[in-house]
Amino acid sequence: MPVLDLKRKLSILADAAKYDASCASSGTSKRDSRGGKGVGSTEGMGICHAYAPDGRCISLLKILLTNYCIYDCAYCVNRVSSNVKRARFSVDEVVNLTLDFYKRNYIEGLFLSSGIIRDADYTMEAMVRVARDLRQVHDFRGYIHLKLIPEASQDLADEAGRWADRLSINVELPRDESLKALAPEKDAGVIKRAMGGVRLGIDAAGEKGRRAKPTAFAPAGQSTQMIVGADAASDGEILARSESLYGAYRLRRVYYSAFSPIPDAPGRLPPMRPPLMREHRLYQADWLMRFYGFAREEIVGPAENLELGMDPKLAWALKHRGDFPVDVNVAERETLLRTPGLGVKSVDKMIALRRLKRLALHDVGKLCRRIESVRPFIVASDWSPGGLTDSAGLARSLTPAPQQLELF
Amino acid sequence: MPVVRLDSEVDFAGWRTAARSLRAQGVTPDDTLWTVDGEGDLFAPPLEAAAATGPAFTAPREFLALAQAVVLHRSDDRFALLYRLLWRLAQTPHLLQLTTDPDVARARDFAKAVERAAHKMKAFVRFRKVDEAPGEMETFAAWFEPAHRVTERTAPFFARRYANMRFSILTPDACAHWDGDALSFTPGADPADAPADDALEEFWRTYYASIFNPARLKVGAMTKEMPKRYWRNLPEASLIPQLIEAAESRSQAMVSAGPSEPNRRIVRAALRASRDAPYDGAAPTDLVELNAQVQACRRCSLWRDATQGVSGEGPRSARLMFVGEQPGDQEDLAGRPFVGPAGQVFDRALAEARVERAETFVTNAVRHFKHELRGKRRLHKTPDAGEVQACRWWLDNERRMVRPRVIVALGATAALAVLGRPTPIGKNRGQALQLSDQGQAVVTYHPSYLLRLPDEDAKAKAYAEFVEDLRFAQRLAA
């Protein structure tokens, strides 16, 4: 087999890693390189060092250690039966590439994942070694995100938590049954148990009242990813799944990744990709559940899908027009958060401002993004929507006009 | 009209001194002209450094923080705007909270733009390596054009991040230098002063092109966060046009290529593996196998939201078996029975009754954690009779393998599972109940019941009875 040069390996193993949506580098403990030997700092807020033309941020060096894999997951470009080019980094190559990129201010740190070679422990051990070398040999204080292999031993998972800022384990598919069909070697139970183990580690590190300071364990928490549109699960099912994951494992984030066609696809998969908008709507609904006080049942029923043509909050408001308009000068924070077009920041600013003066429509206009979409749902000191809230054409006026398909 | 000449574009201290003196003299904002040295009408009378004659005044701390940011904005009227705000603060002390006032909104917009420019500087500076003298620290330099004059403000960030290397950041406004000990600043420079290339940039471009997914092109989202004004100093940006152009055809090619034939070697191996696999599905023959089968249990729907099935643990030779209700939050995560708060009560009572937990078999009537979500908390929910019935298959298998002399049912759910009929605890505790398989059963409270009792006296009484029941069961099994 010809020996691949480093650049070729990088292109293969970055290409193989791009189907992981997460690139976050935020929310970890604060630290910097002063008083140390190496480089690196994390100051709470993540930094996106570049953006690719797919609109995704590039914050971390996101690569696989290897894309050789003994598993045969239909949705994955690296499955054993796929004909893609294969490559494998050595531990030192990953360590040096991370440091070289970091010193040039290209990245915030490393996101390392891997295909499974030989067995889960063998692979996980190599990934942990990368993180350990970065931290111990090079005193690297930047961000590290490690993907855990669910089948790997608890000891390795625990050590990974010592070096990494974030750990993640992908649940992959919203339905356990489809995981069985599309990823025969994976086991939903094993995945859940591994996530449970991570939560126990994080809980133990955060325990109060201990005399000795507990060793840090994944200070940026754990996250997971679900592929949307590779099986028949409805949006309602997907969100119910997320809700139960957030509750059981205290996840920081559930990432939704619209299934995207992969090179060398097997026949078990849907031939078409789902609209990217579906992924976007799922994120919006996820946010409504976590930050806006909506219960899942209010947003979408178990077998229903979210509307693609409008955001879930607007869809909810149009179904509950009786609750509107709300008076921005007196309404509770919870009520304002449920008003279409008003975000958490706008609402908090309005509440601060209305202690000093009565809000007029132009005040609201300056504090929100588009007053046109808010206007029908609010009352201000100089504004009342009259019949607008209940007008039949409201939905149409607030959503983009449908486009006629191009004729050949 | 007084003209104020400031020392530099970012001379906040000069502005502050002048503004203090002007306001003390009662000079209105409309009558003042602000320039930076070397600009403006040179013949206008310069401001007299008059001592403050008017009454002393204060400005809110928030205003100072805001002004320090606004001064860095590239707009020409920033000094005048700040003085106007200072002037108006005298009449309206809470002016800064009126976020929709035009002056306040403009100043806040300026400050926001400056913060954003500082953030983008942290993101988009690209260092290039400079050959260092032997034995010296690694040395890097960068050329950067910030949207606003944020070099001095942002340099400490780089010093914290790269404390152990030397670097210089050159910009048209000012240059920042770090020598491993301290930051220093020099006047603006020229792009030619920065190194022309770095061997790693080819790797960075390779990475950038490979991490991009052509199946999801969103150019607008990219340029919103990475405005074109930064592109000329980003080594990766030169690739953008060709990546966009090729995206549609690459994505189309993937779709139209259709499903591919799997690797033949792999298919043969898979066929062999499935032919040689053992037949599965019979009742378990030992506890390890039982635990493995519980993980695949679909006899009811509780598995779906639980982490794992929790089987019993203890020696096969145990004379005493404890059956609880179901795993709780902690047990669900750890995969072991009675390790959470109820488990701690249980352990304490066992110790008082002088029962060695390691010599007993501890299990549950139901294997999966039934719960409902309340916010982000998982709250225990009692399993119903159907779920208890579905799960008896596992409990009965454990009973068959362990064959304990005495089974202690902890709580009503366990009593139902062990005895097969609803058995009130209060009426039946403290006595031996005969089981069909020649063993005996004792029913008592569930430890979590002891935790829930609100009344301290009732709690102490129930706990004493619980310990008494454990002693009784221990004697019965001896």
pLDDT of B375 reads: 78
User: Does some domain include residue A152?
Assistant: yes
3-state secondary structure of B12: helix
Query: Residue A240 — φ and ψ, nearest 5°?
Result: -65, -40
- Which one-letter amino acid corresponds to residue A401? A
If one counts every other C-beta atom within 10 angstroms of the C-beta of residue A135, the result is 17
Secondary-structure class of domain B287-477 per CATH: alpha beta
Record: contact A265-B219, CB cut-off 8 A? no
Helix axes B151-161, B102-124, angle to 10 degrees: 40
Record: contact B216-A11, CB cut-off 8 A? no
User: Does some domain include residue A59?
Assistant: yes
Record: contact B100-A106, CB cut-off 8 A? no
Q: Alpha carbon of A88 to those of A110, B32, B163, B202: distances in Å?
A: 16, 68, 33, 20
Contacts of B263 in chain A (CB under 8 A): 80-83
User: Does some domain include residue A310?
Assistant: no
Token digits for B456? 């301290």
pLDDT of B189 reads: 92
Q: Does A301 touch chain B (CB under 8 A)?
A: no
B28: left (phi over 0), alpha (psi -120 to 50) or beta: beta
pLDDT of B274 reads: 44
How many Å lie between the alpha carbon of A382 and the closest alpha carbon of chain B? 15
What is d(CA A346, CA A370) in angstroms, rounded to the nearest whole number? 11
Q: Which of residues 5-34 of A touch B (CB under 8 A)?
A: 6-7, 10-12, 14-15, 17-19, 32-34
What is d(CA A125, CA B259) in angstroms, rounded to the nearest whole number? 34
Q: Does A369 touch chain B (CB under 8 A)?
A: no
Q: Are A212 and A142 in contact (CB under 8 A)?
A: no
What is d(CA B138, CA B106) in angstroms, rounded to the nearest whole number? 43
User: Does some domain include residue A290?
Assistant: no
Q: What is the CATH number of the domain that holds A215?
A: 3.20.20
Q: How many domains are contained in chain A?
A: 2
pLDDT of B281 reads: 47
On whether both A210 and A340 belong to a single domain, the answer is no
pLDDT of A364 reads: 92
Q: Are B78 and B106 in contact (CB under 8 A)?
A: no
Q: Does A255 touch chain B (CB under 8 A)?
A: no
Q: Are B236 and B204 in contact (CB under 8 A)?
A: yes
- Among A191, A221, A251, identify where a domain stops: A221
Q: Alpha carbon of A273 to those of A174, A235, B245, B255, B296: distances in Å?
A: 16, 15, 20, 9, 32
Residue A359: closest CA among chain B residues belongs to which residue?
Answer: B100
- Among A194, A221, A248, identify where a domain stops: A221
Q: Which residues pair with A42 in a beta bridge?
A: A31
Residue A360: closest CA among chain B residues belongs to which residue?
Answer: B100
- Which one-letter amino acid corresponds to residue B109? D
On whether both A326 and A195 belong to a single domain, the answer is no
Is residue A365 within a helix (H) or strand (E), and if so which, with residue range?
helix A361-367
Is residue B438 within a helix (H) or strand (E), and if so which, with residue range?
none
Domain residue spans in chain B? Answer: 3-119, 125-193, 200-251, 287-477
Alpha helices (H) along B226-298: 240-257, 264-276, 287-295
- Among A221, A243, A263, identify where a domain stops: A221
Contacts of B202 in chain A (CB under 8 A): 7
Q: Are A72 and A23 in contact (CB under 8 A)?
A: no
Mean pLDDT of chain A: 88
Helix axes A154-163, A120-132, angle to 10 degrees: 20
How many Å lie between the alpha carbon of A355 and the closest alpha carbon of chain B? 9
pTM of the entire predicted model: 0.80
What is d(CA B66, CA A341) in angstroms, rounded to the nearest whole number? 28
How many Å lie between the alpha carbon of B270 and the closest alpha carbon of chain A? 10
Residue of B197, B213, B374 best to disrupt the A interface, most CBs of A under 10 A:
B213
Strand B166-170 vs strand B174-178: parallel, antiparallel, or unpaired?
antiparallel
Q: Does A393 touch chain B (CB under 8 A)?
A: no
Contacts of B306 in chain A (CB under 8 A): 192
**Residue A325 preceded by cis peptide, ω within 30:** yes
What is d(CA A57, CA A142) in angstroms, rounded to the nearest whole number? 17
Residue with tokens 């590039």: A58
DSSP state of B71: T
pLDDT of B287 reads: 86
How many Å lie between the alpha carbon of A277 and the closest alpha carbon of chain B? 11
pLDDT of A386 reads: 83
pLDDT tens for each residue of chain A, 408 residues long: 456 799 999 999 999 898 887 888 888 889 999 999 999 999 988 899 999 998 889 999 999 999 998 888 888 888 888 888 899 999 999 999 999 999 999 999 999 999 998 889 999 999 999 999 999 999 999 999 999 999 999 999 999 999 999 999 998 888 888 888 888 888 888 899 999 999 999 988 877 655 566 678 999 999 999 988 888 889 999 999 999 899 899 899 999 988 876 666 666 677 667 777 888 899 999 999 989 989 899 999 888 999 988 999 999 999 999 999 999 999 999 999 999 999 999 999 999 999 988 999 999 998 888 888 899 999 999 999 888 888 888 888 887 765 555 454
Residue of A103, A195, A269, A362 best to disrupt the B interface, most CBs of B under 10 A:
A103
Query: Residue B18 — φ and ψ, nearest 5°?
Result: -65, -45
Is residue B112 within a helix (H) or strand (E), and if so which, with residue range?
helix B102-124
Record: contact B255-A36, CB cut-off 8 A? no
Percent of chain A clearing pLDDT 70 (strictly above): 93
Contacts of A280 in chain B (CB under 8 A): none
Is residue A122 within a helix (H) or strand (E), and if so which, with residue range?
helix A120-132
If one counts every other C-beta atom within 10 angstroms of the C-beta of residue B14, the result is 19
Could you say which of B138, B219, B373 has the minimum Cβ distance to residue A244?
A: B373
How many Å lie between the alpha carbon of A397 and the closest alpha carbon of chain B? 24
Report DSSP letters for A384-395, one per residue.
--GGGGG-TTHH
Residue A197: closest CA among chain B residues belongs to which residue?
Answer: B333
Residue B331: closest CA among chain A residues belongs to which residue?
Answer: A196
3-state secondary structure of B380: strand
pLDDT tens for each residue of chain B, 478 residues long: 788 889 889 999 999 999 998 988 888 988 888 988 765 555 555 555 555 555 667 888 999 999 999 999 999 999 999 999 999 998 888 899 888 899 999 999 999 999 999 999 999 999 999 987 787 889 999 999 999 999 999 999 999 999 999 999 999 999 999 999 999 999 999 999 999 899 999 999 999 999 998 887 889 989 999 999 999 999 999 999 999 988 878 877 777 776 667 677 766 665 555 444 333 445 677 888 888 888 888 888 898 889 999 999 999 999 999 999 999 999 999 999 999 999 999 999 999 999 999 999 999 999 999 999 887 789 999 999 889 988 888 998 899 899 999 999 999 999 999 998 889 998 999 899 998 888 899 999 999 999 999 999 999 999 999 999 999 999 999 8
What is d(CA B292, CA B287) in angstroms, rounded to the nearest whole number? 9
Domain region containing A374: 321-383
B165: left (phi over 0), alpha (psi -120 to 50) or beta: beta
User: Does some domain include residue A177?
Assistant: yes
**Short-list A159, A231, A131, A129, CA closest to A188:** A231
Contacts of A260 in chain B (CB under 8 A): 213, 215-216
What is d(CA A132, CA A161) in angstroms, rounded to the nearest whole number? 11
Q: Which of residues 86-125 of A touch B (CB under 8 A)?
A: 97, 100-101, 103-106
Is residue B377 within a helix (H) or strand (E), and if so which, with residue range?
strand B377-380
How many Å lie between the alpha carbon of A287 and the closest alpha carbon of chain B? 14
Rg for chain A (alpha carbons), in Å? Answer: 24
Q: Give the pLDDT confidence of A351-399 residue by residue, as tens digits.
A: 999 998 899 999 999 888 888 889 999 999 999 988 888 888 888 888 7
Reported as half-sphere exposure (CB side, CA atoms, 13 A), residue B322 has a value of 31
Residue B244: closest CA among chain A residues belongs to which residue?
Answer: A53
Token digits for B233? 């100093």
What is d(CA B212, CA B241) in angstroms, rounded to the nearest whole number? 13
Q: Are B408 and B470 in contact (CB under 8 A)?
A: yes
User: Does some domain include residue A274?
Assistant: no
Q: Which of residues 309-368 of A touch B (CB under 8 A)?
A: 349, 352-353, 355-357, 362-363, 366-367
Token digits for B365? 């009537």
Token digits for B122? 């942290």
How many residues are given for chain A?
Answer: 408
Residue B121: closest CA among chain A residues belongs to which residue?
Answer: A49
Residue B157: closest CA among chain A residues belongs to which residue?
Answer: A41
